[in-house]
Amino acid sequence: MREDPHVCRRCALAGPTCCQLSAGQEEFCFPLSVLEKDRIRDHLPDLGGFASAPNSASFVDGLSRLFPDERREVKALFPAGKEHLRLAVDAHGACRFLSPGGCLVPREARPYYCRLFPFWITGERITLFETPFCLAQQEHPKVGDLLAVLGLTTTQVASLHGSLRLAWGLPPRPGMDAVKKGF
Residue ranges that bind ligand SF4, judged by CB under 6 A: 7-8, 11, 17-19, 87, 95, 97-98, 103, 105, 110-111, 114, 117-118, 133-136
CB atoms within 10 A of CB 169: 13
Distance of closest approach, residue 90 Cβ to ligand SF4, in angstroms = 11
**Strand ranges (DSSP E) for 36-164?**
50-54, 83-87, 98-99, 102-103, 119-122, 125-128
Q: Residue 36 or 60: which CB sits closer to ligand SF4?
A: 36
> Residue 119 and residue 161: Cα distance in Å, rounded?
9
Minimum gap (Å) between residue 117 Cβ and ligand SF4: 5
Minimum CB separation from ligand SF4 for residue 139, in Å? 9
Q: Which is nearer to ligand SF4, 37 or 75 (CB)?
A: 37
- Residues 19, 103 contacting (CB under 8 angstroms): yes
> Residue 14 or residue 76: which is nearer to ligand SF4 going by CB?
14
> Whole-number minimum distance, CB 116 to ligand SF4, in Å?
10
Angle at 74 between CA 72 and CA 80, to 5 degrees: 95
- Nearer of residues 86 and 165 to ligand SF4, judged by Cβ: 86
Q: In angstroms, rounded to a whole number, what is the distance separating the alpha carbons of residues 68 and 29?
A: 18
